């Protein structure tokens, strides 16, 4: 069998190196020999099958041999002709995601020929010609999680890369002691990272004193400057006192009070850090009938909504009775502050914290550095939960797809969609519902049944 040569021009770019690393892993399963990796311009043995990865701007070969004009961030083009493969990206992320789909769209397509052989290693023969291009339906795709239930942050991030995710929001009681290392590793994988903390409350929104709120704005800014400003993250995510099922607190409308407080506090931030990316995690339960107040939130802030109704905003994936109302509400809030509104959501219906056993941490910890025994035991404990979630995702995934399409269409793809995937051992196993979800965020044109088939065939996807 002819072996492969992976040829990349920008050998110092960490995201391109991550692309080459993943491509090597995929090919190794079929060739049993590590593909040789070369910097473009180095001599390459003639008996190797070359795969060029890069952008027109970084690769002379791709610039001369690609006739395609990629026009959108993260877009890629895969071309295989005469046993020479080109994985071209509009940018470095496009290269990375093109590598992922070289496996998802090319290798799997020809590995399963739909005859009584069931599966073949087609690399033993001449590589079939192939052309495919794609770009994301949702610009920012990822995961929301508490930090202390990430048990291996490198493996967690690596699995996000396989799913073409580019955003993670991590909530913590205390800033992780290894936060800078987490940020650096996320960035080397093309993933933006936002660390979250509370504005104006501690552990119970009911304990807020509305009349004292604005006095805390300066303290919040100081907390940012002391704990977060130097970490290198891509912005901050905060929640305030909206995680309640009542409209009022201390006799005042929550929607009115939180809008005033958030605007006053963010003004202090923007005066010193005008380019800071601030995301406001807002629970719809306390404000859904008072959107006229929320519409006045500073337009520079991205509102990231959750608890918007039925599945996929509900923890329970068979909670679909009020789905149509939920869809209408999602479309409404997507345009609440105009067509260019900075909008995002956190969806649920996947794994979550066990709130019956939850305890707040007593101090800062090293996140994502757990032992093998801890991870092995945790995987076993979560298996039955994943079996339940998987069953209803197979039944109700059309609801998720419909909501994602509606929100993406409303925002022309410019939005943040993160799934609550926490304490589910994602770093050890990419479970089918998460993989299917991620593909919906990337591609909202493929028929759902076809998408289910394609995702289920991926070797790195697990079933409970």
Q: Which of 167-176, 179-188, 225-234, 240-249 has the lowest mean pLDDT?
A: 240-249
C-alpha angle with apex 239: 234 to 243, nearest 5 degrees? Answer: 150
pLDDT of residue 421: 98
Distance CA 303, CA 8 (A): 39
Residue-wise pLDDT tens digits, 46-56: 889 999 999 99
pLDDT of residue 46: 86
DSSP label of 356: T
pLDDT of residue 206: 67
Bridge partner residues of 452 (DSSP): none
Residue-wise pLDDT tens digits, 370-425: 999 999 999 999 999 999 999 999 999 999 999 999 999 999 999 999 999 999 99
DSSP label of 176: -
Residue 296 pLDDT > 80: yes
Beta-carbon count within 10 A of 445 CB: 8
pLDDT of residue 357: 86
78 burial level (CB within 10 Å; 0-12, 13-18, 19+): buried
Task: Give SS3 for 3.
Answer: coil
Residue-wise pLDDT tens digits, 176-231: 999 999 999 999 999 999 999 999 877 677 677 777 777 889 999 999 999 999 99
- Pairing of the two strands 192-198 and 84-89: unpaired
Which helix H or strand E contains 368, and what residues bound it? Answer: none
- For residue 320, give Cα distances in angstroms to 311, 313, 330, 418, 444: 6, 10, 14, 20, 21
**Where are the extended beta strands (E) located within 150-222?**
167-171, 192-198
Q: What are phi and psi of 170, to 5 degrees?
A: -120, 125
pLDDT of residue 332: 96
Structure tokens that stand for 30 in this block? 């079929």
Bridge partner residues of 86 (DSSP): 52, 79
Distance CA 137, CA 414 (A): 9
Residue 160 pLDDT > 70: yes
Q: Which of 111-125, 127-141, 228-242 has the lowest mean pLDDT?
A: 111-125
Distance from the first to the final alpha carbon of the chain = 35
Distance CA 304, CA 320 (A): 22
Distance CA 58, CA 37 (A): 16
Structure tokens that stand for 463 in this block? 């079933």
Distance CA 113, CA 302 (A): 46
- Pairing of the two strands 192-198 and 252-253: unpaired
Task: Give SS3 for 329.
Answer: helix
Average pLDDT, the chain: 95
Closest to 166 (Cα-Cα) out of 206, 138, 126: 138
| Mean pLDDT in residue range 434-459 | 98
Answer with the residue of higher pLDDT: 158 or 354.
Answer: 158
Closest to 327 (Cα-Cα) out of 345, 351, 304, 339: 345
Closest to 392 (Cα-Cα) out of 324, 313, 316, 314: 316
Contact 424, 382 (CB under 8 A): yes
DSSP label of 54: E
pLDDT of residue 398: 98
| Mean pLDDT in residue range 430-447 | 98
| Mean pLDDT in residue range 170-181 | 96
Bridge partner residues of 237 (DSSP): 196, 279
pLDDT of residue 419: 98
């Amino acid at each position: 069998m002819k072996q492969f040569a992976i040829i990349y021009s920008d050998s110092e770019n960490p995201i391109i190196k991550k692309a080459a690393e993943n491509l090597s892993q995929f090919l190794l399963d079929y060739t049993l020999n590590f593909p040789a990796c070369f910097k473009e311009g180095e001599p390459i043995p003639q008996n190797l099958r070359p795969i060029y990865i890069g952008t027109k701007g970084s690769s002379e070969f791709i610039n001369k041999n690609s006739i395609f004009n990629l026009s959108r961030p993260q877009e890629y083009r895969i071309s295989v002709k005469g046993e020479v493969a080109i994985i071209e990206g509009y940018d470095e992320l496009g290269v990375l995601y093109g590598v992922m789909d070289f496996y998802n769209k090319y290798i799997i397509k020809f590995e399963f020929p739909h005859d009584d052989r069931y599966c073949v290693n087609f690399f033993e023969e001449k590589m079939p010609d192939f052309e495919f291009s794609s770009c994301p339906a949702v610009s920012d795709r990822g995961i929301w999680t508490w930090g202390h239930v990430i048990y291996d942050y490198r493996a967690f991030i690596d699995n996000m890369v396989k799913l073409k995710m580019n955003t993670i929001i991590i909530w913590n009681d205390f800033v992780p002691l290894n936060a800078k290392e987490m940020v650096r590793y996320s960035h080397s994988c093309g993933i933006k990272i936002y660390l979250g903390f509370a504005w104006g409350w501690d552990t119970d929104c009911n304990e807020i004193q509305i009349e004292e709120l604005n006095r805390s704005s300066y303290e919040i800014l100081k907390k940012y400057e002391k704990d977060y400003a130097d970490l290198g993250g891509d912005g901050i995510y905060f929640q305030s006192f909206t995680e309640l099922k009542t409209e009022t607190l201390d006799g005042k409308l929550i929607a009115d009070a939180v809008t005033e407080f958030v605007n006053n506090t963010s003004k202090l931030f923007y005066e010193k850090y005008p380019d800071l990316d601030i995301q406001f995690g807002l629970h719809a339960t306390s404000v859904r009938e008072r959107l006229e107040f929320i519409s006045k939130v500073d337009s520079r802030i991205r509102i990231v909504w959750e608890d918007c109704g039925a599945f996929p905003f509900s923890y329970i994936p068979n909670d679909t009775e009020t789905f149509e109302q939920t869809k209408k509400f999602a479309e409404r809030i997507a345009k609440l502050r105009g067509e260019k509104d900075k909008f995002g959501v956190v969806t649920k219906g996947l794994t979550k914290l066990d709130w019956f056993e939850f305890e707040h941490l007593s101090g800062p910890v090293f996140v994502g550095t757990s032992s093998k025994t801890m991870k092995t035991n945790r995987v076993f404990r979560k298996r039955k939960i994943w079996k339940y979630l998987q069953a209803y995702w197979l039944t109700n995934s059309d609801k998720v797809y419909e909501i994602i399409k509606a929100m993406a269409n409303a925002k022309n793809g410019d939005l943040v969609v993160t799934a609550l995937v926490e304490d589910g051992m994602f770093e050890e196993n990419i479970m089918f519902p998460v993989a299917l979800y991620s593909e919906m965020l990337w591609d909202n044109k493929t028929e759902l049944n076809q998408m289910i088939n394609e995702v289920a065939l991926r070797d790195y996807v697990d079933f409970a």
